[in-house]
Structure 1
Amino acid sequence: MHAMQYEIILPADYDMGIIRERVATKGHLLDDFPGLGLKAYLIREREDGSPVNQYAPFYLWTTPEGMNSFLWGPGFQGIVNDFGRPVVQHWTGLGYEEGPAAASAPRTATRRRQPLPMDIAPAEAVTRARARLARQAREDGVVASALAIDPRHWELLQVTLWGENAEVSADAGERFQVLHLSAPERAGLAGQSTGTSVR
């Protein structure tokens, strides 16, 4: 499993209805994309208290071939054509959990990034993070939650999708709206986590 996200920061006075229309008309195009576990079409808006207007889709890939096919294909080229080429962040997947609201459509997403302390062994930090993922995924309102790591910068990433009316705590991380979820291979994500046995 590979996690991927790019963030497009938009002007303070940008009409976010343009992004909503883009997702409404094109979001379904990835609903059956090979190798894609899920794509959450995420936005943040200044009018909701975000520091920026932002379009920041988040992906979980079940195969690197699927990710590559998207990045070198017309879908991502459309982003490049319209917004310029964004930095594509990617992480190695460590865990994926479905939550109590798994059957619900997600309405909110939270993202938490956490650097690994230098004084903790990577294997120990990952083991702790996986245990925390399993606990947090059982919270009311959770649709699904994923854990990944960037070993270049030694950063853990946890992204959680929440159903409508979920009570999301203020310390859950940066908050996004979910405009659409494409999830053609979501059922296979749990089996795609990397490093299920830490040594």
Structure 2
Amino acid sequence: MYAMQYEITLPADYDMEIIRRRVATRGHLTDAYEGLGFKAYLIRERGTDGSPVNQYAPCYLWDDTAGMNRFLWGGGGFNGIIDDFGRPAVHHWTGAAFLEGPARRAAPRAASRHSEPVPAGADPAVVVGRALGEAEKRAGEPGVHSTVVAVDPRHWEVVRLTLWEHAASEADAVRYELLHLSTPHLDEIPVGRQWD
């Protein structure tokens, strides 16, 4: 399991309806994408939910690297982003856990992301274990569709992404509006921690 996100920060006066129309007309293209657990079409709008920026920031959960590779450089879709916005940096993390919430069968409308560094000298197993415990608590909260815990072992960062049925928790600094969710292979993602 692999998580991936790119963030396209747009001008402060950018009309976010352009992104909404883009997702409305193109979002269905990933509804049957091979190897994709989910793609959450996320936006942040300046002045909404504390966002200082306008941003298009899709997030992906991949079941395998073949689908991710096909998407990024195999002609499978990323070229549309490059053509329209330039080539953004793609953040990627190794999946540590996927947890379902009580609203798993609902259509989520919001998302939140919480990131924390793994301090130098800290035992990664302890930090990831703590993040997993926090994610398990989060997954039990009303309105949670699902929660992903992922780790970037190059920069030593732990990320928790949560999809919400309605509004995202204000406890997370980064909150998104979720415009469309493609889930072609979400039922194939194992629930729980991703090692044993």
Name the TM tier (shorter chain): over 0.9
The alpha carbon displacement at 1:47 in A equals 3.6
The alpha carbon displacement at 1:169 in A equals 3.6
Out of 72, 85, 88, the position equivalent to 2:87 is 85
Q: Which residue of 2 aligns with 1:140?
A: 142
Cα distance in 2, alignment partners of residues 90 and 11 from structure 1 = 25
Two-structure CA RMSD over aligned residues (Å): 1.4
Cα distance in 2, alignment partners of residues 169 and 182 from structure 1 = 22
Q: Which residue of 1 aligns with 2:57?
A: 56
Q: Name the CA shift for 1:78/1:193 in 2 (closer, same or farther; >3 Å).
A: farther
The alpha carbon displacement at 1:120 in A equals 2.5
1:126 aligns with 2:141: no
| Aligned AA (2:33) | F
> Would you say the 8 A contact 1:36–1:62 is kept in 2?
yes
Q: Name the CA shift for 1:192/1:87 in 2 (closer, same or farther; >3 Å).
A: farther
| Aligned AA (1:3) | A
> Would you say the 8 A contact 2:37–2:186 is kept in 1?
yes
Out of 146, 157, 160, the position equivalent to 2:159 is 157
Q: Name the CA shift for 1:169/1:182 in 2 (closer, same or farther; >3 Å).
A: closer
| Aligned AA (1:66) | G
Report the identity percentage.
55
- Give the number of equivalent residue pairs: 194
Structural mapping, 1:1-199, within 5 Å: 1-48=1-48, 49-72=50-73, 73-164=75-166, 166=167, 168-190=168-190, 194=194, 196-197=195-196
* Structure 1 runs, 4 residues or longer, greater than 4 Å off: none
Cα distance in 2, alignment partners of residues 136 and 191 from structure 1 = 15
> Would you say the 8 A contact 1:108–1:162 is kept in 2?
yes
The alpha carbon displacement at 1:172 in A equals 2.4
Q: Output one character per residue of 1:5-27: Cα deviation in whole Å (capped at 9) or x when no partner.
A: 00000011111000000000000
Q: Output one character per residue of 1:108-139: Cα deviation in whole Å (capped at 9) or x when no partner.
A: 10001100123421111112211221121010
SS state at 1:190 partner: coil
Cα distance in 2, alignment partners of residues 127 and 19 from structure 1 = 37
| Aligned AA (2:53) | V
Q: Which ranges in structure 1 are unaligned for 5 or more consecutive residues?
A: none
Q: Which ranges in structure 2 are unaligned for 5 or more consecutive residues?
A: none
SS state at 2:13 partner: coil
Cα distance in 1, alignment partners of residues 147 and 4 from structure 2 = 14
Cα distance in 1, alignment partners of residues 148 and 173 from structure 2 = 13
Cα distance in 1, alignment partners of residues 8 and 24 from structure 2 = 18
| Aligned AA (2:37) | G
43-52 or 10-19, larger mean C-alpha shift: 43-52
| Aligned AA (1:120) | A
TM-score for the superposition, normalised by structure 2:
0.94
> Would you say the 8 A contact 1:62–1:192 is kept in 2?
no
The alpha carbon displacement at 1:193 in A equals 5.3
| Aligned AA (2:172) | A
SS state at 1:5 partner: strand
SS state at 2:141 partner: coil
The alpha carbon displacement at 1:190 in A equals 2.1
